[in-house]
Structure 1
Amino acid sequence: MHTDIDVLIVGAGPTGLALGIDLARRGVDALVVERADALFPGSRGKGIQPRTMEVFDDLGVLDAIRTAGGGYPVGMIWRDGERVGEHRMFDPAEATEDSPYAEPWMVPQWRTQEILCARLTELGGRVAFGREVSGVTQDDAGVTVRFEDGTEARARYVVAADGGRSAVRRSLGIGMTGETVDPSPMLVADVRITGLDRDNWHVFPPRGEGEGFLAICPLAGTEDFQVVAQFAEGAAVELSLDGIRKVVAARSHLAPDDVTEVRWASDFRPRAALADRFRDGRVFLAGDAAHVHSPAGGQGLNTSVQDAYNLGWKLGAVLTGDAPASLLDSYEEERRPIAADMLGLSTSVHRGQTRRGEATRQLGLGYRESSLTEETRANPGALRAGDRAPDGTLEGVRLFDAFRGPHWTLVAVGAPAHEMTDATNMPDIRETVRVVRGPAQESYGTGLFLVRPDGYVGWAGESGDGLKEYMGRVGLWR
């Protein structure tokens, strides 16, 4: 390849593709490389949480995601061929003005990746398939990535988004600390099935000692079902059509021939692991390369996409020369604690200790303790610097519409007129920051809120005092 680029992203999963989109819309020269010859074909990470829906809104793929998927069906519990009760997978939640996406949305992972890849291509981004990394070296000026075919690529920065067995992470010698969440092996497969309705997530509890559960979920937007089956510790998991037919027939009222086709299948043992660090010089770890989750609770893909969303604007600001390179230090500072918390949450959900509810929706995550966060008010309200910036309407402008794009946004609500004027009419601010103002608003109260490109409040104040200094730190003011 011998390509000289700004950012090389290793891995064309949801993490790598989302980062590629964010960089492409900022005009950054980035290349996504993928060792496989095509996008991942399975449904594995099928749950998109409300916070990730907001991210996808900003990245310009939400309409396609909503069209491709659907809400989660009610669980139907079966025993001996009879329906014996219903099970709600998630605690119910109502959409509100400040949180318009209340519940998870189901889209098979392969479809999410197709949508992200199409958006990346639309923005002029590139994906090179069949590029397996064999080694990484770096110096003060950049990173050289070697591929198995003998070619090389040179980049100013590299992002490893190449999964739990990350070749980049191993090449750098970064360890992962973790635990086995459940010693029982699991089967997950996308199949075609007859004899089951598509209105329910069909659950078949264990009927005897040594037998695990079976769950068969209709995959929204497709004709497929996702089969998940648990096995006894040490048991072999067969991924063939005959093997999956045996499991389904043994644990449900369905006949073997009711499983007509296996479109994708995999086995795994649930584990949780966290990389010892998320950065090594000019190389960053994101997604499963940095943290591996149990699939319970639907936190893995969502935490991974949000890694990309956090890193993209920072790389863009540094590469354009607007912000100092030290801005990149905040990536690990902000994302590693979040990943650790989400690992604990997904493990707790897997073990039945926590329900899927407010915490798993990820709307409450934030960066109050970050070095990028400044709260200057003596008596802040419920919304503080570091928190996710809520949606809402000011003077007829929807805030998420104002936030959408690669810029910062200054929200001025209920502040005295002279303070709003002083803070929002600085000569250079309109070239770098979008301004929205209006009367006091329920979610924001009163004050000035500088919202980062990733939708979190970076700075908050009662007046514009200190705003210029903060903007200088993050590359918005010179």
Structure 2
Amino acid sequence: MGGTEDTTTCAIAGGGPAGMMLGLILARAGVDVVVLEKHDDFLRDFRGDTVHPSTLDVLDELGVGARFARLPQRRVSRMAVVTDAERLVVADLSRLRGRHPYIALVPQWDFLDFLAEEAARFPGFTLKMGCEVLDASGGRLRYRCAQGVDRTLRAALVVVANGRNSTLRAGFPLHEIGAPMDVAWFALPKEPDDPDELFLRVSRGRLVAMIDRGTHWQCGYVVRKGMNVDDPHVVGENVAELIPWLADRARALETTSTLRVAVNRLKRWYRPGLLCLGDAAHAMSPIGGVGINLAIQDAVAAANRLARPLRDGTLDVADLAAVQRRRMPATVLVQGFQRAAQGRLVAPTLAGAPPKLPPPRVMARLRGPLARLVAYGGRPEHVRV
């Protein structure tokens, strides 16, 4: 492997929500942790900026919820689908009985900076920015920092939390579910008389997701898988036709960023000394905005199970298998919901057919279960260490 070698107890590849939350909880539990993030800062164009009740509960359990609440944020409780003929509320979190009956819309760079600041309070936590992980094997992780020098880090456990395109994910058997769409993301200015909500505008052949960010709309124009969406003027014209009160702003659109949607999961999340979490274990569709929160639930479950054996030096592959066993049912449940939404709503609409939405009476009965699924992801985890 070459280069200079350091040691730690747990090395985490990726400073996203899963990696930072795992690093924070493990360091709080007395485990030495090094998080390696390939970018120099968190100031990037994130698409997933929704912090759901399950994550807000975890922040309370860590004693940092009040500080998080002081971050600039929007709070929304309703998710709606707007068709050519009607507006349907598909999830209403305000009816939930938890401490946080809403979704907090917080720029992800602010959220990650917040987690980094909280984790830095513990002496066992180290965050290395601008350090890209290259490979990992035999209890060693090789990485390269801005200076171009390869270094190695020996660890009892390497956690792969650097996304669905991680090179460390290679070689793990994959269950591919697939997605019929890609998404062109962009921002449009918000004006005072605009509605305050989170909704999906649906019309034959076209869909656009609208997320109220206070100062602007975060928008996702949904297209058929593999379709070229590089022309922002085409996207803007379609959005203008779908949402007339946005027409002037949409027609002035100049840039978009394309997300190639994938829905899949590893059949096995681990091998001796290595564990995959978050998108590295299960790539999620943007439907429901639940990806970040499932990743954080993975991190909480992993910390609960692994903190003691990591401290005691008794970590075994059975501990890693236990993390997957605990988190796999929630992953399957949420991906099943996303697959159903793709089949009943997204695919028919993009094919030019009407969406297969439940009748209003059935939708009213589903509103509560869907709100709980969006809020808590099927199996909410609580900090135990």
Q: 1:239 to 1:192 in 2, by over 3 A?
A: farther
The alignment status of 1:216 with 2:210, answered yes or no, reads yes
Q: 1:201 to 1:26 in 2, by over 3 A?
A: closer
Residue 20 of structure 1: how far off its partner (Å): 0.9
Task: State which of 40, 45, 59 in structure 2 corresponds to 1:42.
Answer: 45
> So what's the TM-score if we normalise by structure 1?
0.65
The within-5 A match list for 1:445-464 is 452-453=384-385
The within-5 A match list for 1:204-243 is 204-206=201-203, 211-219=205-213, 222-238=214-230, 242=233
Moved beyond 4 Å, runs of 4+: 73-79, 193-196, 256-262, 352-355
User: Which consecutive residues of structure 2, in runs of 5 or more, have no partner in the other structure?
Assistant: 346-356, 358-365
The alignment status of 1:33 with 2:36, answered yes or no, reads yes
Q: 1:265 to 1:179 in 2, by over 3 A?
A: same
Is this contact kept in 2: 1:74–1:199, CA < 8 A? Answer: no
The within-5 A match list for 1:1-400 is 2-39=5-42, 41-67=44-70, 68-69=72-73, 70-72=75-77, 75=80, 77=82, 86-96=87-97, 99-124=98-123, 125-138=125-138, 142-147=139-144, 149=148, 150-170=150-170, 173-182=171-180, 184-194=181-191, 197-201=194-198, 203-206=200-203, 211-219=205-213, 222-238=214-230, 242=233, 245-253=236-244, 254-257=246-249, 265-321=256-312, 325=316, 326-350=318-342, 351-352=344-345, 356-362=370-376, 365=379
Is this contact kept in 2: 1:176–1:273, CA < 8 A? Answer: yes
Deviation digits for residues 127-162 of structure 1, max 9, x if unmatched?
A: 222222222221xxx323243832222222110001
Q: 1:175 to 1:37 in 2, by over 3 A?
A: farther
Deviation digits for residues 432-452 of structure 1, max 9, x if unmatched?
A: xxxxxxxxxxxxxxxxxxxx4
> For the residues of structure 1 that align with 2:251 and 2:190, how far apart are their CA atoms?
5
Residue 196 of structure 1: how far off its partner (Å): 5.6
Residue 200 of structure 1: how far off its partner (Å): 3.3
Is this contact kept in 1: 2:210–2:218, CA < 8 A? Answer: yes
User: Which consecutive residues of structure 1, in runs of 5 or more, have no partner in the other structure?
Assistant: 367-387, 390-405, 407-451, 454-478
Is this contact kept in 2: 1:45–1:301, CA < 8 A? Answer: yes
Partner of 1:55, secondary structure, is: helix
Residue 272 of structure 1: how far off its partner (Å): 1.6
Opposite residue 373 of structure 2, the aligned amino acid is A
Residue 280 of structure 1: how far off its partner (Å): 0.9
Residue 258 of structure 1: how far off its partner (Å): 5.9
Residue 323 of structure 1: how far off its partner (Å): 6.1
Is this contact kept in 2: 1:193–1:261, CA < 8 A? Answer: no
Opposite residue 188 of structure 1, the aligned amino acid is W
Residue 245 of structure 1: how far off its partner (Å): 3.7
Residue 239 of structure 1: how far off its partner (Å): 6.8
Work out the percentage of aligned pairs sharing the same amino acid.
23
Give the structure, 1 or 2, with the largest relative contact order (CA under 8 Å, sep 6 or more).
2
Is this contact kept in 2: 1:159–1:285, CA < 8 A? Answer: yes
Residue 179 of structure 1: how far off its partner (Å): 2.0
Q: 1:188 to 1:26 in 2, by over 3 A?
A: same
> So what's the TM-score if we normalise by structure 2?
0.79
Is this contact kept in 2: 1:288–1:300, CA < 8 A? Answer: yes
Is this contact kept in 1: 2:211–2:219, CA < 8 A? Answer: yes
> For the residues of structure 2 that align with 1:259 and 1:24, how far apart are their CA atoms?
49
Partner of 2:215, secondary structure, is: coil
